[in-house]
Structure formats: C-alpha cells, structure tokens
Structure 1
Amino acid sequence: MKTTRRSFLAKTSLGIAGLSLTKVAAPVSLFSKNELPVVISTWRHGLPANEAAWEILANGGYALDAVEAGVKVSEADPNVTTVGYGAIPDASGKVTLDACIMDEKGRAGSVAYLQHIKHPISVARLVMEKTPHVMLSGKGALQFALENGFGKEKLLTPEMRKRWKEWKKEERQFSPEINIENKRLENHDTISMLALDKEGRLCGACTTSGLAFKMHGRVGDSPIIGAGLFVDGEIGGAAATGTGELVMKTLGSFLVVEFMRNGMSPSDACNAAILRITEKIPDYQEHQVGFIALHKSGETGAASIQPGFEYALKTKNFAGLKEADAWFKKW
C-alpha cells in the first residue's frame, strides 16, 4: 500500500506519541531483526558499494573497514557525478570534497573542502586515527593527506568541465534540482553507508562533492558529525543525503538516532526527522532530503521529503533497492 502524506503524518505521530526525553531505548527484542551482517547505503550507486562492503563483512571483517571500502567504490567511479573523481564542480569550476567516518565507539573523523584527493573518506579515517581532531579542512586537509601518502590528482573530468562551461555560459544561478538522479538517469548525490558486522559493531561513512555548481567554499552536511552522519554503537546509526543545509539546521542524523534511543523503530525515526524538517524549514518543499537508519538489532529504515529516494540494502536474504517513505508521496 502506498504511503500518502496523511498516512505518513499519522504513522509518524503515532511513533512520537508518548515518548519523553528521559525514556530509555526500547529493548532490542521489540524490533524485527536481520541476521548479521547488514549494510545499507543511499541511492542506486549504493548497490556496488554494498557489494564491496559485503566482501569484508561476510568474511567476519570490521564494519569500519567495510564502510570505507564501500564508499570508495563511488569515489572512484567517474559515472557517479557527485562523489570523488568525475564529480560536478562548484561555481568556480573546482571539485571540492567532503567526507566523514564514525565507529561504534563514537570516534569520528572528517574532511571538508578537500581538493585533489580522490578518496576523502580514507583521509577522514586517518584524521580520526592519527590526530587529536575531528575535522580538517581546505589546504590543511590537503597537506595532511599528502603527508600521509595520498597522491594529488586531477578530479575534474573533460565531461564535467564541459558541463561547467555550459552552465557558466547560461549565467545560471545555483538552485537545487530535486532527484536529479532520476531525471538524468545518473547516479547522483551523496553516498552514505551504515554497516553492522557479525560482532555487532556498527560504523558509518559519508562522502560527497556536494551540490552541483555550489558557491565556491560551500560545505554541506556530509562532513558534519550529527548532521550527515551519526553513530551510537549502543543504539544505532543514521545518515543523510539531499540538500545539506536542511540537514544541518535540524542535526538530522543525530535526531534520528535520538528517536531510536527513545524507542522508535528506524523507519519511524527517519519519518520523525523528516517531519521535523517540514515543521522547522519554511521552504522545505523545494528540496529533497533522505535519511537511512540502522538499529543495533539489524533493523533498517528510511524516509524522505520527496518521492524517488532509493536506498540500497544488503543482508543475508536480500540485496537490492528499496524506495523510502516520502512526505510528498505520489498518489
């Protein structure tokens, strides 16, 4: 049965009813379980990313290694036009990348406004493991990457340079395009990934080049812990995709995890976070935001503002795409 906006709101309201800030998380037994491991990621390009992560998870590997290996598939693929190599540049013609990673113990690392490095997720992991900081940005992030053996590369492909020049000729102003991946049959937007390994360790990763033709210097939600990604190994994890400004204004991924902490299922928690955006952001109708969530039990969920947000899921019994519940659901 299709979800309408009315049923979306009713379902979410039922999930929120009775929750308090002091309520403890519901016992894991209340949730439906997937046999471990589990990996979930955003969009169609999450399918090959999940396969790479699964190779590690199926062999008893660590979820942190899995999410890093998974999203690196998208970072290296020039057909994925908003991640890593081959990404659409900003308004000045520069490819600038953001990424973050987080483990089950709450350790985190991120990079923002990083140029010339194909795999920002791996730099983010080194920030987490080798520095006392959480985030490095710009020239400092690049210097750190080069000092740690990363090679400087040209990320702007001839195709993307051509598209940028065409955009400049039209003197267009930046405006987000909702579900551009469906309109242009491209793999588009941030890849966020959450994985739960056989030992129950839950980790997440998020990597992107951000919005196409964004203002030079713009940083979105993807490298922001609590916005683009948040993991609590005792509860679950959540990650975002879409217009980062809306996610940052509501700390969306942290909010999803907190809803799960207070007893919501992953699906209801994602719905509630979308509802928060519709309540707090006046122009939310002009944007797309999607959330994915993974509870420590192995249950997953997702929700979005607009229809068309697909997420990739892989478990022992399922591998494929699913479409999230949407606030504006097609009738």
Structure 2
Amino acid sequence: MNTSRKSFIKTLGALGVMPWALAQPTSSKPRVDGGNTSIVSNPKTLAVGSRNALRGVERAVSMMSEGKDPLDAAVEGVKIQELDPNDMSVGYGGLPNEHGVVQLDASCMHGPTKRAGAVGCLEGIKTPSEVAKAVLELTDHIMLVGEDAKTFALQLGFEEENLLTERAREAWLRWKRNLNPNDNWLNDDESNPYSTGTVHISACTQQGDIGSITTTSGLSYKIPGRVGDSPIIGAGQYCDQRVGSAGSTGRGEANIMACGSFTVVERMRSGESPEQACLSALQRVVEMTEPRLLDENGKPRFNLNYYALNVQGEFGGATMLKPSDRALDNGGGTFAAAEPGNARLEPMAWLFD
C-alpha cells in the first residue's frame, strides 16, 4: 500500500506514537582498517565529554551497559544539561542572543550507520539534541535551521516553550546596560559579560559502536542567526566507527576554521593517542588563527577544548590555555570520563602555559 509521509505521521500521531522514536539506529561490528594505519580494536564501554557532562557520561555508560545504542545514550546524557535551567550554556535557561532570544544548535553522528544530523538557530525547543537525532533518523538531510527546524520539530510532536529563564533574562539585561556608554541604561561593573558554553559527549560500547553529540546555546548575546561550531559536522563533533570520536567546546569560529573534531579523529587514525591528537588539533587551530586574535607571542586570546576516545579503549582531552592556579584548585582544566561504575573528572593537557 502506498502511504505518504504526511499520512504516516498523522496516523502515528493518532496512535500516540512518535515517529522519531521508531527509527532507532542499528548496530554493526566496526571495521577497523583506517587509511594507511591498521588500528587494533579493543573497545570497552566508555564515554567522555566536557566537564559539565559528568552526570551525562555516567548516564550514557549506564545505558550502554544495558545494551542501549551509543547515540541514544549520548543524547540522553546531554539532555541532563539541556533541561537544567541552572546551566546557562545549553537548552532551557541558555543565554540568549543580543535581542534576548535563545537560539540553540546541536549535531550528532552515529558510527554504525555512518549518518549525521544537526539543527541550527532552533528556537522554542528545549532539547535540540533530540531534534538533531530526528534529522539523522528520519531525513536524507544533515542540517535544518531556523524556523524550518522548529516547524520540523513541532510536526514531530515536540512542544514549543519559552526558553528564557528569569536568571538568563537578568544576565541579558545586565549586558544591555553595559553595551553602550552613551545609551540611557545604567552601567554595571562587569569585566567580561560574554561567555561560551556547550556540552559534548562521545560514547563507545563494548562492541565498538560509537555515537557523538554536541549541543549548545552558543555565544552569549551573539548576533541573531550566528551559528557556531557545535552543529557543524567535523567541527563541533565527529566520529568514525573505525577510529574513534571527538568533540569540542570553546571558541566556535576558531574551531570551524580548523575542522577541529575531524582533525582529532584523523590524527588518531594516523596513530596518535587521543590526548596527543587533541593537542595536534589545537596546534592546527593556532596555525589557522587570524593575527588579531593572537598576542605578541603568538598565543591565542581565546580558549578551546577537545575531548576524544578511540576504539582501543583510550581517551583524553586537551585545552588551549593552562587554567589559572585558582581555576585548577576549583576543578578547572578537567573533562568528564566514565566507565561502568566509575564516572570522574580527568585532567586535561594544555598547549600553552
């Protein structure tokens, strides 16, 4: 029987079934030949991610230990932060653009099926990670953006909600007061009102299946329509079933210029450890950085972080700049890692002291 996509979705809606929930990725054993280097696969149940993903990697590993798909597990992991109004870097409660509107970005990849999905400038939907996954599972496209991404999500049954929390609104108003010394707003004392924030998780099952996800509300108070690295495949995250997975947080524009997460995976393909591959990608970022963003010693005036794992069961992370002693004392310069029964923060390497 010939059934149109529209009538199919309508039928599922009447049954109370979400179509995106039906399209589950299928698992397959990894092939481990990688370019000119033979990679010996010795996978284990493992997840790594940004520091704010500590609860997320723990959830992802728990799900994979129960036989769940790595991408499903990674998405459920980052949703903890997306739904947390106190995390102002992603999802609900994320800091808005310069007009006070929260715009969200996310991308994901699924190693076994070699598929990817992404959304950019998505408004009104708390969990862009799930919408990106729906793009991967239900369409022949990789990225949807703006109003059309929201329409796509609403058609699938996602609810439109106001994502601007009172705390984020107050931060935005404080930024506006400091924006122009000649306007009519009273100024606050605030040295650096801008912030970047993102959450990433890479996940690997004991069978060697890999999934990755990065989600963000982007640069705070950005020009409306700005898209950073998080929804860009090969920048915000990248995975290859034969090699491993990587993701990033930090200055998105610099990461895009270096195709950073792709670079990390390719360096692992050539034989580098995850930590060394992250450092190599950071060096590539420096080489691709415009002069105005470098100090007199060639050191970037911004920070960027990479997180990676490989099919050999190794993992690592690296940051561009060494954290201050105070930051180190408070857990800075770390990333999240989890194996069954052991979720913790691990120290990152750094490129510049």
Alignment TM-score, normalising by the size of structure 2: 0.79
* Matched residue SS, 2:336: strand
For residues 317 and 103 of structure 1, what CA distance do their matches in structure 2 show? 24
Q: Is the 8 A contact 2:175 2:193 kept in 1?
A: no
- 2:317 — aligned with what? 302
**1:239-262 alpha-carbon deviations (Å, 9 max, x no partner):** 111000000001000011111111
In structure 2, what residue type is equivalent to 1:267? E
- 1:17 — aligned with what? none
- 2:86 — aligned with what? 79
For residues 38 and 145 of structure 1, what CA distance do their matches in structure 2 show? 30
1:222 CA displacement? 0.2
Q: Is the 8 A contact 2:194 2:221 kept in 1?
A: no
Q: Give the stretch that moved more between structures: 214-223 or 307-316.
A: 307-316
* Matched residue SS, 1:60: coil
Q: Is the 8 A contact 1:110 1:128 kept in 2?
A: yes
Q: 2:302 aligns with which of 281, 284, 287?
A: 287
Q: Which runs of 5+ in 2 are unaligned?
A: 1-33, 182-190, 295-299, 324-332
Larger radius of gyration: 2
1:297 CA displacement? 1.3
1:256-295 equivalences in 2 (<5 Å) = 256-281=264-289, 282=291, 283-284=293-294, 285-295=300-310
1:48 paired to 2:63: no
1:323 CA displacement? 2.4
1:265 CA displacement? 1.1
- 1:97 — aligned with what? 104
**1:44-66 alpha-carbon deviations (Å, 9 max, x no partner):** x2111112212211212110110
In structure 2, what residue type is equivalent to 1:229? Q
Q: Taking structure 1 as reference, are residues 306 and 141 closer, same or farther at Cα in structure 2, changes over 3 Å only?
A: same
Q: Is the 8 A contact 2:244 2:265 kept in 1?
A: yes
In structure 2, what residue type is equivalent to 1:149? G
For residues 291 and 323 of structure 1, what CA distance do their matches in structure 2 show? 12
Alignment TM-score, normalising by the size of structure 1: 0.84
In structure 1, what residue type is equivalent to 2:226? R
Q: Is the 8 A contact 1:178 1:288 kept in 2?
A: no
* Matched residue SS, 1:82: coil
In structure 2, what residue type is equivalent to 1:94? V
1:240-255 equivalences in 2 (<5 Å) = 240-255=248-263
For residues 327 and 179 of structure 1, what CA distance do their matches in structure 2 show? 23
Q: CA RMSD in A?
A: 2.1
Q: Is the 8 A contact 1:100 1:121 kept in 2?
A: yes
In structure 2, what residue type is equivalent to 1:160? A
- 2:117 — aligned with what? 109
Aligned length: 294
For residues 39 and 230 of structure 1, what CA distance do their matches in structure 2 show? 14
1:28 CA displacement? 2.3
Q: Which runs of 5+ in 1 are unaligned?
A: 1-21, 181-187
**1:101-131 alpha-carbon deviations (Å, 9 max, x no partner):** 1001320000000000000010001101111
For residues 166 and 278 of structure 2, what CA distance do their matches in structure 1 show? 38
